[in-house]
Amino acid sequence: MAPSGLARFLLFLILSLIFSLSDAGRIAIYWGQNGNEGTLAETCATGDYAFVNLAFLCTFGASNTPQLNLAGHCDPYSNGCTSLSQDIKSCQAKGVKVMLSIGGGAGAYSLTSKDDARQVARYIWNNYLGGHSSSRPLGDAVLDGVDFDIEGGSPDHYDDLARYLSAYSAKGKKVYLTAAPQCPYPDAWVGGALDTGLFDYVWVQFYNNPPCQYSSGDAANLEDAWKQWTSGIKATNIFLGLPAAPDAAGSGFIPIGDLKSQVLPALKKSSKYGGVMLWSKYYDDQTGYSKAIKPDV
């Protein structure tokens, strides 16, 4: 007997709740900025991460030729990164979402108009997502979405970019959108984009910003900033972004014991808590931070 409309609706609600709950307590990692951090396939094979951000598409917009920089892993200009296609597919087969992170702390990027944003979105769709191009830098693998790690330049038109990228979901596979804003609220560069409500996951960088980060046993500033983020944006999965080692950032590292006993218990009271984001795989290899905190995330 076919289920009634009410039964189908209830089933949908139950499945939505299950998938929503499964998003809680995950770890995201950035990969691609150090040749000594192991391969992408090895990263996913650890079982530690639910999201891997490939960093970075560091040049785009303003008539610039888009440029991918994965440090010492491969050379995209000689088609040397197409071999990552199998690694990406291996990650996805394990349930790991693999994102293209655009921007970064040292790139040449900006969006000069709404049409510029449209062209960048089309380039990303055709070269990294479900579109078609004769020169896809990562081969035929289809990434899961785009991460906005915008840390400079103008904040203009990233809301347009988010809308254009999100619209490609209508062509089949969902295009996930994530963002990595700085912890001062609202973020100077992607605050407007986040107002669109189109972002699935937001990992707020609670480091290199003393007024809103953990410091010497005091989590008050971090908790206050967390409350601003969880009440101020529409995303339902917000992550605590941290350096995976003291050397990974100028400030903001939280010792494992303090994170597990003091910080996470406070943040996990929020229904929007999604997990922890770490910068980066290279530093996580040095400390084993993700493995140490995973049971408590």
The span from the CA of 23 to the CA of 152, in Å, is: 30
The span from the CA of 13 to the CA of 107, in Å, is: 42
The span from the CA of 196 to the CA of 117, in Å, is: 15
Q: Is 151 a catalytic residue?
A: yes
28 forms bridges with which residues in the sheet? 51, 277
Cα–Cα separations (whole angstroms), residue 242 to 40, 185, 252, 274:
21, 17, 7, 14
The span from the CA of 148 to the CA of 189, in Å, is: 10
| Options 37, 42, 151, 223, the catalytic residue | 151
Catalytic residue numbers, as ranges: 151
